[in-house]
Amino acid sequence: MRNIENAFYIGNNRAMISLGPLTDKKYCPYSCAFCYVKSGFEKYIKLKIDDILVFLEKNREKYDIIYISGDTDSFAPPRTEKAIELIQRISENIDVDITFTTRTIFNEENLNKLKKINDFMKSKNHKLIACISISRLYSASFLEPYPIPAPLDRITMLKKLKENGLNTILATRPFLPIIKPEEYIEIIKKSKKYVDAVLGEIWYADQKLINDVCKNNDIRNINFIDKTMDFDNNNKIWKCYEAKEIVEEVTKYCKDNKILFFMRSHPAIEYIRNNY
């Protein structure tokens, strides 16, 4: 069980934090069908921004980058402004790079706030890296139900964030057995001018998630391997879809088009931190 001392996950030099569960009953404003958080991920604690800063200061020697990510989309309405305030307060109080992940759409006012924070962080030689998740383009809309913004609107968001000077990552993740490699490649094709790197990821599932996502698809030939997570404290053995065919085709497309592609966020973030 998490407590205030152990409110978030810190490991591999990264502090992974969030605004915590949206309510007692709902951890995230969105409800992605494939989301592993509902299936055994050790949820973070909901803290005020001041208390998140205390936690980060207390553990300062254990990380060199902060991920605002993890167990909820902190940037989705109704918490968009609060999550941006969290980035701003961290940037003003801690000398550190920050990356954040979301599926949300920022309005012009919020884009402008992010631009200002990014300009401020750049002046201190720090990076603000925006990672936008897009898990499908035209098929299986039930995977990312309303109110999750349409995939094309999220691609426009990558464009706007890039135009505002932020480093950007497209996260086509997780790779799912019911989406064809061509669909992931299409997402990358449409986004490639606006991103510094592309991420894929294996899918951490259990039997319930597999049923929810794969529904009537024939998955008898799909291989799921047993694995624990190395980015969370839970001890669960997950059924993982490694997506070998998708990885192979996406890797080839990205190589042919000189796009940086990674299956883990850590090397992508490190590349951007060291080369941009």
User: Under the rule (CB under 6 A), what is the footprint of ligand SF4?
Assistant: 28, 30-32, 35, 37, 72-73, 103
Residue 255, SS3 per DSSP? helix
Nearer to ligand SF4, 110 or 251 (CB): 110
Nearer to ligand SF4, 36 or 253 (CB): 36
Q: How far is the CB of 123 from ligand SF4 (least distance, A)?
A: 31
Q: How far is the CB of 26 from ligand SF4 (least distance, A)?
A: 10
Q: Compute the Cα dihedral for 59, 53, 10, 259 and give only its sign.
A: negative
Nearer to ligand SF4, 7 or 28 (CB): 28
Strand blocks (E) in 37-195: 65-68, 97-102, 128-133, 167-171
Structure tokens at 79: 């918490």
CB contact at 8 A, 52 and 96? no
Q: Which residues contact 75 (CB under 8 A, 6 or more apart)?
A: 68, 83, 84, 100, 102, 104, 106
Q: How far is the CB of 176 from ligand SF4 (least distance, A)?
A: 12
Q: How far is the CB of 221 from ligand SF4 (least distance, A)?
A: 26
**Residue-wise over 108-140: b if at least 16 C-beta within 10 A, else e?**
eebbebbbebbeebeeeebbbbbbbbbbbbeeb
Residue 85, SS3 per DSSP? helix
Q: How far is the CB of 88 from ligand SF4 (least distance, A)?
A: 22
Tokens 């669909």: give the residue: 183
Nearer to ligand SF4, 74 or 191 (CB): 74
